[in-house]
Amino acid sequence: MAYSDKVLDHYSNPRNVGSLDKGSKDVGTGVVGAPECGDVMKLQIQVEGDRIVDAKFKTFGCGSAIASSSLATEWIKGKTLDEAEKIKNTEIVEELSLPPVKIHCSVLAEDAIKAAISDFKNKKASA
């Protein structure tokens, strides 16, 4: 299967790889996927007020999954929580020119963003 140049670029030079302090009250963590399905994404956001000031990811998955999560962190940085929540997987598909068999990678990235935001909100509500 041929990969698009953008997927190859994210795979070779992934943006924002790493971890944030998941114990911090300003950090939301989303982990989605499962090892037996071949992909797991961990996406973390650091929030100030209602704005995402930093984002990090780690992904176990194919090149398209790595690219989808890398792109997601790039896009959500600087966005408000409401704006980030509106990112659709189809936008990721379009940006990375993902073929039909790789659409699930983009769905996972959207889920990871939502999971991280939800984790942050839960933390805040229970604080």
Partner 1 sequence: MNLPIYLDYQATTPVDPRVLEAMMPFFTNAFGNAASRNHSFGWSAEGAVQQAREDIASLIGASPKEIVFTSGSTEGINLAIKGVAEMYASKGKHIITSQAEHKAVLDTCKHLEKLGHPVTYLVPDSTGRISVEAVAEAMREDTVLVTVMWANNEVGTLNPIREIGALCHEKGVLFFTDGTQACGKVPVDVEADNVDLMCLSAHKIYGPKGVGCLYVRRRKPRVRLVAQIDGGGHERGMRSGTLNVPGIVGLGKACAICRDELDESMQRLGSLRDHLEARITSELDFVHLNGNKEHRLPGNSNLSFPYVEGESLLMGISDIAVSSGSACTSASLEPSHVLRSMQVGDDLAHSSIRFGIGRFTTKEEVDYAADKVIEAVRRLRAMSPLYEMAQEGIDLASVNWQAEH
For partner 1, the binding residues (CB under 8 A) are 1, 3, 8, 11, 14, 17, 19, 31-42, 57-63, 65-66, 101, 104, 107-108, 115
Q: How far is the CB of 35 from partner 1 (least distance, A)?
A: 4
Q: How far is the CB of 107 from partner 1 (least distance, A)?
A: 7
- One-letter identity of residue 86: K
Kindly report the backbone phi and psi dihedral angles of residue 77, in degrees, each rounded to the nearest multiple of 5, phi listed first.
-60, 125
Q: How far is the CB of 31 from partner 1 (least distance, A)?
A: 7
**Active-site residue identified among 105, 109, 112, 113:** 105
Residues 66 and 28: their CA atoms lie apart, in Å, by 20
Which C-beta is closer to partner 1: that of 80 or that of 103? Answer: 103
CB-based burial of residue 6 (10 Å sphere; 0-12 exposed, 13-18 middle, 19+ buried)? middle
Q: Is 62 a catalytic residue?
A: no
Contacts of 23 (CB under 8 A, 6+ apart): none
**Active-site residue identified among 8, 37, 53, 101:** 37
Catalytic residue annotation: 37, 105
